[in-house]
A and B are shown apart, each in its own frame.
Chain A
Amino acid sequence: MRFPVIKNAWLALAVVAAAQSAVLGYMIYDRASLLRAGREVVLPVVPVDPRSLFQGDYVILGYDISRLKTTLTEATPQMAPGKPVFVTLSKGADGTWAQSAFGFEMPPALKPEDAVLQGRIAYAWLDGGVINISASYGIEQYFVEEGTGKEIEEQVRDRKIAVLLAVDASGRAAIKALMADGEIRYREPLL
Chain B
Amino acid sequence: MLGYRKRIETDLQAWESKGWIDADGARAIRGDLATRSTGIGMAPVLAVLGAVLLATGAMTFVAAHWNDMPRVARLALLIGSLWAAYGVSGWLSMRGHPYFAEAANLLAGALFGVNIMLIGQMYHLSGSLPAAMLTWTAGVALAAVLLRSNTSLALAIVLAGAWSIIRTGETEGIHWAYLPVWAALFAAVTLTTRWRPAYHLLALSLSIWVVSAGSLVEGPDRHEYAVLAGLAVIAAAWFGRDWIDRVIAASRPAICYGLAVAFAGLYAMQFLDLGIYGANLWYAANGMPLWMLAAATLALVLGALGLGAVAGNQPLTWLAYVGFSLELVTLYFRTLGTLLDTSIFFLLAGVLVIALAWLAWHLRQRQLHQGGTA
Contact = CB atoms under 8 A, between A and B. Distances in A.
Interface of A: 1-3, 5-6, 9-10, 12-17, 19-21, 23-24, 27-28, 31, 35, 54-58, 80-82, 120, 122, 136, 138-146, 174-175, 188-189, 191
B79 interface: yes
Contacts of A10: 90
Leading 5 A-B pairs by shortest Cβ distance: A141-B126, A56-B63, A31-B123, A140-B126, A56-B65
A55 B87 contact: no
Contacts of A24: 79, 112, 115-116, 119
A55 B120 contact: yes
B124 to A, nearest CB: 5
A28 to B, nearest CB: 6
User: Would you call the interface of chain B mostly helix, strand, loop, or mixed?
Assistant: helix
Given A6-B146, A12-B146, A146-B64, A191 B124 contact: no
A188 to B, nearest CB: 7
A82 B171 contact: yes
Contact of B67 (A54, A122, A138, A145): A145
B108 A17 contact: yes
A83 B128 CA distance: 14
Contacts of A54: 63, 117
B52 interface: no
B191 A13 contact: no
B121 interface: yes
**Residue with the greatest number of chain B CB neighbours at <10 A, chosen from A5, A143, A189:** A143
B65 A146 contact: yes
**Residue with the greatest number of chain A CB neighbours at <10 A, chosen from B62, B65, B90:** B65
B62 A56 contact: yes
Contacts of B79: 21, 24
Contacts of B170: 81-82, 122
7 contacts: A20-B115, A20-B142, A31-B122, A35-B123, A80-B171, A142-B124, A174-B124
A20 B72 CA distance: 18
Given A16-B146, A191-B75, A23 B124 contact: no
A16 B86 contact: yes
B89 interface: yes
A144 B65 contact: yes
B127 A138 contact: yes
User: Would you call the interface of chain A mostly helix, strand, loop, or mixed?
Assistant: mixed
Contacts of A142: 124
Nearest to B93: A9
**Residue with the greatest number of chain A CB neighbours at <10 A, chosen from B64, B117, B123, B147:** B123
Contacts of B237: none
Interface of B: 62-67, 71-72, 75, 79, 82-83, 86-87, 89-90, 93-94, 108, 112, 115-117, 119-128, 135, 139, 142-143, 145-148, 170-172, 191-192
B365 to A, nearest CB: 49
B249 to A, nearest CB: 18
A81 B173 CA distance: 10
Contacts of A57: 65
Nearest to A175: B124
Contact of B143 (A20, A21, A35, A145): A20
Given A81-B172, A145-B64, 9 more contacts: A2-B191, A13-B86, A16-B143, A20-B112, A136-B126, A142-B124, A146-B64, A146-B66, A188-B122
B135 to A, nearest CB: 6
A56 B71 contact: no
Given A31-B123, A191-B71, A9 B94 contact: yes
A120 B127 contact: yes
A56 B122 CA distance: 11
Contact of A17 (B83, B116, B148): B83
B176 to A, nearest CB: 13
Contact of B66 (A9, A17, A145, A174): A145
Contact of A3 (B65, B67, B145): B145
A142 B128 CA distance: 14
Contacts of B83: 17, 21
Contacts of A145: 64-67
B350 to A, nearest CB: 49
Contacts of A31: 119, 122-123, 125
**Residue with the greatest number of chain B CB neighbours at <10 A, chosen from A3, A13, A82:** A13
B117 A13 contact: no
Contacts of A80: 171
Contacts of B119: 24, 27-28, 31
A56 B82 contact: no
Contact of B63 (A12, A16, A55): A55
Contact of A174 (B86, B123, B145): B123
Nearest to B90: A13
B192 A2 contact: yes
